[in-house]
C-alpha cells in the first residue's frame, strides 16, 4: 500500500511539474523549448505558405535580432490584396520558411519611387557587407510600357523603411526592350570579386557588371545570354556550375496561366548557358520556350503557372529549398474575376541528379504535407 501511495504521488508530482514547465515555456512568438515536443506544424509544411499574394518573391535571412532570432524576410510584387488595400512591395517574415506574417510595405505612397510612373514589380533583396546596408532592386513598369526600367533602394534594416536611390537602367538607356526582371549577383573567385546585374523580359536577357560600392553604376558593356523566350532570371552557383532559372509563357491569366520554370547551366557567370540537351538558350526565342529544359510546371489540377522563383537556400541538414509563386485553380483571382491574378507563395525541396542537374519531385508544385526545412 505504501509503495502504491508513493507511486501515485510521484506521478502526480511529475504531472504538476510538467504542467508548470509547459506553461512557463509558452510565449507569444511561438518559440519551441526543449520541454515542448515538436508538432507536425513545426516539422511539416503544405503549400501555399502565404496568401493572398506574394508574386515574384525574393527573400533573405537577416542577422539575429535582440532576441537572438534570425528572421527570414520575403518581398513581393506590388498588388492589391483586397479592395482598397494596395501593397507597394509587401514584406513578410518567418522564423522557419513555413509560417509567414505580414510586416510592412517597402514603400508608402509618399516614398514610392517617382522616376517612372509604374508599378513596383519583381523585387530582389541584397545585403552588402561593404556598408552593412540592405539594397532592394526593383522593376518599375506598367503593362505594355515603352520605357520600363530597374531601380534600387536602400535601408539599414531588412524591413525598411527603404530610401529610393533612383534608376539603374531603363529601355532607353540600355537599348533593351522591356528592361525589367533584374537579378543582382556577386561572385568571389580568390582575390577577384565582381558583381553583375541581369535583366530582361521576353526581349532577350542581358548581363552587365555593376559597381558593388555604390550598387547602382553599371560597368563595361552588356552581353546577351538568353533569347526572347524568358524572363525572371535567377542564378545559383554550385559545384563549378552557374544554374540559370528563368520563367516562360503567360504569368498572369488567372485559370489560363501557363507559366513554367526552366533551367540551364554554364561554367561561366556570363555564359554560354546550355539546356540539358546542349542547346544555347540565346537561340530560344519563342514565347512558350519550347526548347527549354523544364524544371517546374503546373499539375493542371491544383496548381498552375509556377514561376519567378526566389533564391535557393540550403538548410542545416544539407537540403535545398526554393520559394516561388503559383496560381491556384480553385482560387485564381484577387478581389474579383478577371482582375489581378492571385499568386500565393509556395516552396518545394530542390534535389540534384547524378549529372548535377536540379529537379523538384514530380516536376510540379507539391500539394501534400512535406518535411519542412530545418534551421538551428
Instruction: Convert the pLDDT of each residue in 65-101 to its tens digit.
Output: 999 999 999 999 999 999 999 999 999 999 999 999 9
Domains assigned to the chain: 54-371 (2.115.10.20)
pLDDT at 10: 41
Lowest mean pLDDT among 13-17, 210-214, 241-245: 13-17
Cα separation, 213 vs 179, in Å, equals 23
Q: Taking all residues of the chain, what is their mean pLDDT, rounded to a whole number?
A: 91
DSSP output for 44-79: EE-S-SB-S---S-EEEEPPP-TTS---EEEE---E
The answer on pLDDT for 11 being more than 80 is: no
DSSP state of 254: G
Q: What is the mean pLDDT of residues 203-230?
A: 98
pLDDT at 191: 77
> Percent of the chain beyond pLDDT 90?
86
Q: Residues 6 or more apart from 353 whose CB is under 8 A from it?
A: 359
Q: What is the mean pLDDT of residues 189-199?
A: 90
DSSP state of 203: S
Instruction: Convert the pLDDT of each residue in 105-155 to its tens digit.
Output: 999 999 999 999 999 999 999 999 999 999 999 999 999 999 999 999 999
Instruction: Convert the pLDDT of each residue in 322-341 to its tens digit.
Output: 999 999 999 999 998 888 99
Cα separation, 273 vs 263, in Å, equals 9
For 239-309, list the strands marked E by DSSP: 241-248, 260-266, 294-296, 303-307
pLDDT at 205: 98
Torsion of CA 354, 360, 364, 367, to 10 degrees: 140
Q: What is the mean pLDDT of residues 236-257?
A: 98
Instruction: Convert the pLDDT of each residue in 296-308 to its tens digit.
Output: 999 999 999 999 9
pLDDT at 145: 96
DSSP output for 106-165: S--TTTS--SS-SEEEEEEEEEETTTTEEEEEEEEE-TT-SS-EEEEEEESSTT-PPEEE
Query: Given pLDDT bands bounded at 50, 70 and 90, which one contains residue 174?
Result: very high
Amino acid at each position: 500500500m505504501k509503495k502504491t501511495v508513493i507511486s501515485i504521488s510521484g506521478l502526480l508530482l511529475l504531472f504538476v511539474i510538467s504542467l508548470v514547465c509547459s506553461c512557463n515555456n509558452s510565449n507569444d512568438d511561438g518559440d519551441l523549448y526543449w520541454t515542448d515536443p515538436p508538432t507536425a506544424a513545426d516539422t511539416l509544411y503544405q503549400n501555399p505558405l502565404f496568401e493572398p499574394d506574394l508574386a515574384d518573391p525574393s527573400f533573405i535571412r537577416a542577422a539575429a535580432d535582440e532576441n537572438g532570432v534570425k528572421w527570414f524576410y520575403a518581398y513581393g510584387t506590388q498588388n492589391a490584396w483586397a479592395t482598397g488595400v494596395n501593397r507597394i512591395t509587401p514584406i513578410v517574415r518567418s522564423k522557419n520558411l513555413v509560417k509567414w506574417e505580414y510586416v510592412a510595405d517597402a514603400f508608402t505612397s509618399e516614398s514610392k519611387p517617382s522616376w517612372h510612373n509604374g508599378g513596383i514589380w519583381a523585387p530582389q533583396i541584397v545585403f552588402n557587407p561593404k556598408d552593412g546596408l540592405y539594397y532592394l532592386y526593383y522593376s518599375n513598369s506598367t503593362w505594355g510600357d515603352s520605357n520600363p526600367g530597374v531601380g534600387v533602394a536602400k535601408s539599414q534594416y531588412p524591413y525598411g523603411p527603404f530610401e529610393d536611390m533612383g534608376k539603374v537602367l531603363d529601355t532607353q538607356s540600355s537599348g533593351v526592350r522591356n528592361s525589367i526582371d533584374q537579378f543582382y549577383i556577386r561572385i568571389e573567385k580568390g582575390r577577384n570579386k565582381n558583381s553583375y546585374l541581369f535583366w530582361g523580359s521576353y526581349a532577350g536577357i542581358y548581363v552587365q557588371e555593376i559597381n558593388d560600392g555604390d550598387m547602382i553604376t553599371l560597368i563595361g558593356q552588356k552581353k546577351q545570354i538568353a533569347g526572347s523566350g524568358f524572363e525572371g532570371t535567377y542564378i545559383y552557383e554550385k559545384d563549378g556550375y552557374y544554374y540559370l532559372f528563368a520563367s516562360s509563357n503567360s504569368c498572369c491569366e488567372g485559370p489560363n496561366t501557363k507559366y513554367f520554370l526552366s533551367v540551364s547551366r554554364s561554367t561561366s557567370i556570363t555564359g554560354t548557358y546550355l539546356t540539358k540537351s546542349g542547346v544555347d538558350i540565346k537561340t530560344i526565342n519563342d514565347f512558350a520556350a519550347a526548347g527549354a529544359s523544364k524544371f517546374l510546371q503546373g499539375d493542371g489540377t491544383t496548381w498552375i503557372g509556377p514561376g519567378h522563383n526566389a533564391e535557393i537556400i540550403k538548410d542545416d541538414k544539407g537540403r535545398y529549398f526554393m520559394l516561388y509563386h503559383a496560381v491556384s485553380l480553385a482560387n485564381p483571382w484577387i478581389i474579383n474575376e478577371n482582375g489581378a491574378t492571385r499568386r500565393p507563395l509556395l516552396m518545394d525541396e530542390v534535389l540534384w541528379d547524378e549529372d548535377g542537374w536540379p529537379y523538384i519531385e514530380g516536376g510540379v508544385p507539391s500539394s501534400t504535407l512535406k518535411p519542412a526545412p530545418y534551421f538551428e
